[in-house]
């Protein structure tokens, strides 16, 4: 087993050195990343993960961000051949907000912002630079749009198990994506049509 892993590492180093050096960087910061995410940011995360670079986490007091086993997250611009525009942002926008990420989920950059609840099912892959938001952030009424903090529409998002979301998609409030779905790159999803 050890010899096989050593041989795999040599193969990667010879054929795709950028992957090898990304793995070395990921291993070097694994413990500090865990300490920041778990104890400073207050995220419920399992230690069995691969996080390349630091995600940006903005957790509203008393809100919940929970990440399952075998999470893989790419945040550095050079950690994904598609390029990461910015580190992954996980943000809860209210004290009752929840972001629940299942087991075996992969995310490359992008933003996930919940005012109510966003659930991402087990085995889902979220391509580079996606935006998933369950709120409009501002009321739609023109006179109130700039400064109002009430009357803002929000509705939970549920992404099923084993969903593949291509790069640079936008998923908006109230969307429920069924298990095993594929979302083409560059899509804007306002509602799911069967």
What pLDDT, in 10s, does the model give residues 115-155? 999 999 999 999 999 999 998 777 666 666 666 666 678 89
DSSP letter, residue 120: E
Confidence at 78, pLDDT banded by 50, 70, 90: confident
CATH classification (class only), 2-189? mainly beta
The predicted structure's pLDDT at residue 137: 74
Q: Identify each DSSP E strand in the chain by its residue range.
A: 44-45, 49-52, 56-58, 64-67, 71-74, 89-92, 98-101, 106-108, 111-114, 117-120, 125-126, 131-133, 157-159, 164-165, 170-171, 176-177, 182-183, 188-189
Please report, rounded to a whole number, the percentage of residues in the chain having pLDDT higher than 70.
82
Give me the residue spans of the domains in the chain: 2-189
DSSP letter, residue 135: B
The predicted structure's pLDDT at residue 26: 81
What pLDDT, in 10s, does the model give residues 36-49? 999 999 999 988 89
E strand or H helix at 18: helix 17-34
How far apart are alpha carbons 191 and 194 in whole angstroms? 10
Cα distances from 19 to residues 52, 80, 106, 167, in angstroms, run: 11, 9, 16, 20
């Amino acid at each position: 087993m050890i010899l096989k892993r050593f041989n795999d590492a040599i193969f990667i180093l010879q054929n795709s050195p950028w992957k090898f050096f990304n793995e070395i960087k990921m291993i070097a910061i694994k413990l500090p990343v865990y300490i920041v995410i778990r104890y400073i940011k207050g995220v419920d995360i399992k230690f069995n993960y691969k996080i390349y670079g630091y995600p940006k986490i903005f957790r509203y007091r008393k809100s919940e961000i929970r990440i399952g086993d075998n999470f893989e997250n790419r945040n550095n611009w050079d950690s994904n051949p598609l390029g990461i525009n910015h580190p992954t942002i996980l943000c809860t926008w209210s004290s009752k907000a929840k972001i629940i990420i299942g087991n075996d989920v992969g995310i490359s950059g992008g933003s996930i912002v919940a005012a109510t609840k966003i659930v991402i099912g087990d085995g889902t892959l979220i391509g580079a630079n996606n935006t998933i938001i369950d709120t409009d952030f501002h009321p739609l009424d023109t006179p109130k749009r700039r400064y109002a903090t009430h009357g803002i529409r929000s509705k939970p998002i549920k992404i099923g198990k084993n969903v593949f979301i291509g790069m640079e998609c936008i998923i908006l409030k109230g969307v429920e994506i069924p298990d095993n779905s594929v979302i083409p790159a560059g899509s804007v999803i306002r509602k799911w049509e069967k």
